[in-house]
Chains A and B, each alone.
Chain A
Amino acid sequence: GQQVMQIPQYQHVQEGEDFTTYCNSSTTLSNIQWYKQRPGGHPVFLIQLVKSGEVKKQKRLTFQFGEAKKNSSLHITATQTTDVGTYFCAGYYTGNQFYFGTGTSLTVIP
């Protein structure tokens, strides 16, 4: 099946530092979604990107979709302890399912 690679697997940052996670696909994506899963919780939908080169912002979170629609990133500015969790990307190709990345676990040190 298709694969979406996500890096890094883990990231520890001091509170106030920035954080970025990256997703890459070997083939062109139709669209990509981002989810956040708090420790012990379930994934919660954050956003969907559809257009080539698209950039969307949600407060301190910035989401980008690459020009070739093969990669995406999530950047958090000035992390807070509430940002702790695992961030997943999910890529959609032609077909009927999203393929989830392996996730990046973010730890924020107060």
Chain B
Amino acid sequence: QQQVKQSPQSLIVQKGGISIINCAYENTAFDYFPWYQQFPGKGPALLIAIRPDVSEKKEGRFTISFNKSAKQFSLHIMDSQPGDSATYFCAASNAGNMLTFGGGTRLMVKP
């Protein structure tokens, strides 16, 4: 049972544009929602994370928006750059324990 659904599967954005990736979860016990960036052949790198007591968190060009009632959260990448081209995974966990990952989004930023 896939508990975290991620969309879109792939995304093409022009340089300077905004990349938006969405995730929805089912388990209301989840209370920690990180986003990871993964380049080919590398392990995932923690980008940014949010807990449900806030609706938005921003770190540099990366912003998480969180909607607890809808059980949805999204990643916004502002001023997208070719170097941002990677696969992005959302995830969810209960108290930082085992992570349940979304299916991933392959982002390509065209120069």
Tell me whether A and B are bound partners. no
Residues in A lying within 8 Å of B, measured CB to CB: none
Residues of B within 8 A of A (CB): none
